[in-house]
């Protein structure tokens, strides 16, 4: 029982320990605020600029969610396509792998030319960086169907579509939710990176402007806020996953 | 092979059936099954035994219409087979139940797919559920309808899988080593379950197995298959009267038949070894 309690609180305890050590080192050794601000100084600056930070955070949040939404739609459709057709798998997968290996930050200048400074590049970067895991996971879920089960259904006259809807899709749901957890964190990376060069709003923009005016505390608050948003979304999808596809996690409940 | 059944009465009729898995193998004259001739009466329970890899599962695929023969003709229930046969139900060694569906919903799955039930499913759902519950109760799964597959033991899952194969009242039940993964006691229990289901409904059964006792206990006729080439080499009728009790498996008559079949398999294995040299 005590062990379980400890397990539950362990992330917070670790965080607390890190903050304490950080504070002790920075104030103890008198590290300059312009090099590495202490947690208390970061907190101070966060409170001081909280309305500004909140505004930028909101922008980053909705832009990320928009890109993520597009990523879900495209990822699911592509995953569905390559998971259910061998030809499509053979044709698309290698190209997608090559595409995924490209650093998405490199797309930002091109997107700026196409869409101008602002929302467009950020949404698209978030989308580009996060659709891949969704696609791969849906495809895997569909492609790893047991052949016996397929036979059972095909003998009954089931069309490919029936097999996909009755078996393939529910089967790939746990993979899907698993991929959402990964993808949402990536989407925040995409938005932030894009905002750093191609926006006048958002946490990425805040980071750059705080850095150039040597407001290190503010820059760290920006990082903090992105981290918190990503973590909250991750936990949300984790919760949804547990409550919709419990059958896939039965082993861990014992 | 001698055959007492007249041609036009056969329910399942294999007439010189050969199958190569693809055109390449066909060109090289490599067949998975060769020259299968088989006539099965309506309501007959047949078992096919043989070493692993002898083409038993291929035979199943031919019977269900999932594979077309390269040569020869298959007729089932008077119809030439040229596509998946909806009059059959299948169960395999792995129960392959869907983990996100309850036992009841798993059993109902075929009704959501096969016509004419498919189009009536929404309107007659209550009735279908009753039918599924009855079927589950008849194999000893009464009260388990709301349980998920992982909450059932291996034997229970296999019972549910057989129910799924029977829910649309197929004329033919195809079983591919259905009891292979179960312990000996559960297996014998399920033999009796299958026997009772069959005696009540008299559908055709084709049981593929490598358990000789299982084949002799359950089947009217046992066929032995040889390995590469996959051929039927022995046809043995089992004269033990119905209803067979588990006790029968300890009688000398039963043991003699098992022994005799074992002899055929043994001879085939030796012959196979010679060919491979």
Report the gap between the CA of A167 and the closest CA in chain B (Å): 8
CB A74 within 8 A of CB A127: yes
- pLDDT, tens only, A200-231: 888 888 888 888 888 888 888 888 888 989 99
Within a domain: A61 = yes
Q: What is the pLDDT of residue A183?
A: 92
Q: Is A69 a residue whose pLDDT tops 90?
A: yes
* Domain of B54, in residue numbers: 1-81+218-277
**What is the spatial distance between Cα B85 and Cα B61, in angstroms, rounded to a whole number?**
10
Residues of A in contact with B150 (CB under 8 A): 247, 250
Within a domain: A5 = no
- pLDDT, tens only, B38-72: 888 888 999 998 877 777 778 888 888 888 888 88
Query: Chain A to chain B, count of Cβ pairs less than 8 Å apart?
Result: 61
**What is the spatial distance between Cα A20 and Cα A127, in angstroms, rounded to a whole number?**
37
Q: Can you give the pTM of this predicted structure?
A: 0.74
DSSP labels for A148-160? Answer: HHHHHHHHTT--H
Number of domains, chain A? 1
Within a domain: A242 = yes
User: Which residue on chain A is closest to B105 by alpha carbon?
Assistant: A166
**B55: three-class secondary structure by DSSP:** coil
Q: What is the pLDDT of residue A253?
A: 39
Residues whose CB falls within 8 Å of the CB of residue B147, separated by 6 or more in sequence, listed in order? B102, B103
What mean pLDDT is predicted for residues B177-183? 85
Within a domain: B77 = yes
Nearest to B157 by CA among B131, B184, B179, B185: B179
Instruction: ipTM value, please give it.
Output: 0.70
Within a domain: A38 = no
Residues of A in contact with B96 (CB under 8 A): 146, 148-149, 152
Which of B86, B98, B109 minimises the CB distance to A157? B86
Residue B42, φ and ψ in degrees, nearest 5: -60, 130
- Residues B110, A162: C-beta atoms closer than 8 Å: no
Q: Is B275 a residue whose pLDDT tops 70?
A: no
Inter-helix orientation angle B184-201/B125-138, to 10°: 130
Which of B90, B100, B109 minimises the CB distance to A151? B90
Number of domains, chain B? 1
Residue A39 CB neighbours (<10 A): 18
**What is the spatial distance between Cα B100 and Cα A247, in angstroms, rounded to a whole number?**
6
Domain CATH for A103: 1.10.3720.10
Residue B185 CB neighbours (<10 A): 9
Nearest to B218 by CA among B230, B208, B232, B231: B208
- Residues B66, A166: C-beta atoms closer than 8 Å: no
On the 0-12 / 13-18 / 19+ scale of CB atoms within 10 A, A44 is middle
Give the tokens for residue A194. Answer: 């894009």
Q: Quick check: B48 contacting A, CB < 8 Å?
A: no
Q: Quick check: B165 contacting A, CB < 8 Å?
A: yes
Q: What is the pLDDT of residue B1?
A: 42
Q: What is the pLDDT of residue A216?
A: 82
Q: Which long-range contacts (CB under 8 A, 24 or more apart) does B79-88 make?
A: B84/A154, B84/A155, B84/A156, B84/A157, B85/A155, B85/B172, B86/A155, B86/A156, B86/A157, B86/B114, B86/B115, B86/B168, B86/B170, B87/B170, B87/B171, B87/B172, B88/A155, B88/B63, B88/B64, B88/B170, B88/B171, B88/B172, B88/B173, B88/B174
Q: What is the pLDDT of residue B100?
A: 86
**A121: three-class secondary structure by DSSP:** helix
Tell me the average pLDDT of chain A: 85
- pLDDT, tens only, A48-59: 888 888 888 898
CB A138 within 8 A of CB A171: no
- Residues A155, B64: C-beta atoms closer than 8 Å: yes
What mean pLDDT is predicted for residues B241-246? 86
Within a domain: B98 = no
Q: Quick check: B81 contacting A, CB < 8 Å?
A: no
Residues of A in contact with B64 (CB under 8 A): 151, 155
Q: Which residues of A88-101 are buried (b: 16+ CB within 10 A; e: fewer)?
A: ebeebeeebeeeee
- HSE value, Cβ hemisphere, 13 Å, CA-based, for A244: 15
Residues of A in contact with B84 (CB under 8 A): 154-157
Which of A146, A155, A173 minimises the CB distance to B66? A155
Within a domain: A56 = yes
**What is the spatial distance between Cα A216 and Cα A231, in angstroms, rounded to a whole number?**
23
- Residues B90, A152: C-beta atoms closer than 8 Å: yes
Report the gap between the CA of B115 and the closest CA in chain A (Å): 8
Within a domain: B102 = no
Q: Is A19 a residue whose pLDDT tops 50?
A: yes
Q: Is B7 a residue whose pLDDT tops 60?
A: no
CA angle A188, A194, A195 (to 5 degrees): 90
Model confidence at B221, pLDDT cuts 50, 70, 90, reads very high
Within a domain: A4 = no
Q: Which residues of B71-94 are buried (b: 16+ CB within 10 A; e: fewer)?
A: ebebbbbeeebeebbbbbbbbbbb
Within a domain: B75 = yes
- For residue B272, what are the CA distances in angstroms to B225, B230, B265? 12, 11, 10
Residue A103 CB neighbours (<10 A): 9
Residues of B in contact with A144 (CB under 8 A): none
- Residues B98, A170: C-beta atoms closer than 8 Å: yes
**B174: three-class secondary structure by DSSP:** strand
* Domain of A154, in residue numbers: 44-246
What mean pLDDT is predicted for residues A165-175? 85
Domain CATH for B272: 3.40.50
DSSP label at A164?
I
Residues of B in contact with A250 (CB under 8 A): 150
Q: What is the pLDDT of residue B270?
A: 65
């Amino acid at each position: 029982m005590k062990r379980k309690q400890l397990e539950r609180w362990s992330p917070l305890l670790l965080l607390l320990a890190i903050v304490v050590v950080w504070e002790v080192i920075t104030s103890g050794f008198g590290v300059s605020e312009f090099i590495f601000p202490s947690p208390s100084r970061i907190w101070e600056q966060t409170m001081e600029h909280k309305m500004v930070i909140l505004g930028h955070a909101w922008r980053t949040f909705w832009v990320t969610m928009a890109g993520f939404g597009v990523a879900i739609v495209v990822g699911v459709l592509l995953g569905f396509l390559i998971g259910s057709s061998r030809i499509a798998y053979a044709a698309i997968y290698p190209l997608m792998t090559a595409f995924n290996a490209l650093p998405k930050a490199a797309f930002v200048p091109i997107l700026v030319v196409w869409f101008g400074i602002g929302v467009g590049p950020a949404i698209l970067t978030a989308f580009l960086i996060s659709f891949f895991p969704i696609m791969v996971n849906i495809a895997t879920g569909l492609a790893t169907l047991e052949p016996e089960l397929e036979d059972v259904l095909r003998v009954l006259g089931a069309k490919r579509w029936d097999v996909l809807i009755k078996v393939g899709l529910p089967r790939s749901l746990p993979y899907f939710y698993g991929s959402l957890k990964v993808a949402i964190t990536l989407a925040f990376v995409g938005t932030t990176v894009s905002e750093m060069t191609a926006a006048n709003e958002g946490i990425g923009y805040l980071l750059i402007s705080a850095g150039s005016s040597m407001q290190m505390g503010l820059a760290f608050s920006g990082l903090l806020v992105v981290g918190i948003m990503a973590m909250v979304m991750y936990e949300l999808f984790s919760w949804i996953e547990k409550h919709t596809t419990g059958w896939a996690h039965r082993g861990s409940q014992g | 092979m001698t055959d007492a059944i007249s041609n036009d009465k056969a329910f399942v009729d294999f007439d010189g059936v050969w199958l190569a898995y693809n055109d390449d193998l066909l060109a090289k004259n490599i067949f998975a099954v060769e020259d299968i001739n088989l006539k099965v009466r309506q309501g007959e329970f047949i078992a096919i035994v043989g070493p692993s890899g002898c083409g038993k599962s291929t035979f199943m695929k031919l019977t269900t219409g999932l594979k077309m023969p390269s040569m020869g003709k298959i007729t089932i229930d008077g119809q030439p087979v040229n596509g998946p046969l909806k009059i059959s139900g299948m169960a395999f060694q792995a129960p392959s139940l869907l983990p996100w569906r309850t036992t009841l919903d798993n059993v109902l799955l075929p009704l959501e797919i096969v016509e004419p039930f498919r189009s009536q499913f929404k309107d007659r759902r209550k009735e279908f559920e009753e039918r599924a519950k009855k079927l589950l109760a008849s194999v000893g799964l009464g009260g388990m309808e709301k349980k998920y597959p992982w909450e059932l033991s291996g034997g229970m899952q296999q019972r549910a899988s057989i129910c799924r194969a029977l829910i649309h009242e197929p004329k033919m039940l195809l079983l591919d080593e259905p009891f292979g993964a179960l312990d000996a006691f559960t297996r014998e229990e399920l033999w009796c379950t299958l026997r009772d289901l069959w005696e009540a409904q008299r559908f055709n059964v084709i049981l593929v197995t490598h358990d000789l006792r299982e084949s002799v206990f359950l089947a009217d006729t046992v066929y032995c298959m040889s390995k590469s080439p996959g051929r039927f080499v022995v046809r043995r009728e089992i004269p033990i009267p119905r209803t067979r009790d588990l006790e029968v498996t300890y009688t000398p008559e039963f043991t003699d038949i098992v022994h005799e079949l074992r002899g055929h398999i043994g001879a085939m294995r030796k012959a196979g070894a010679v060919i491979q040299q």
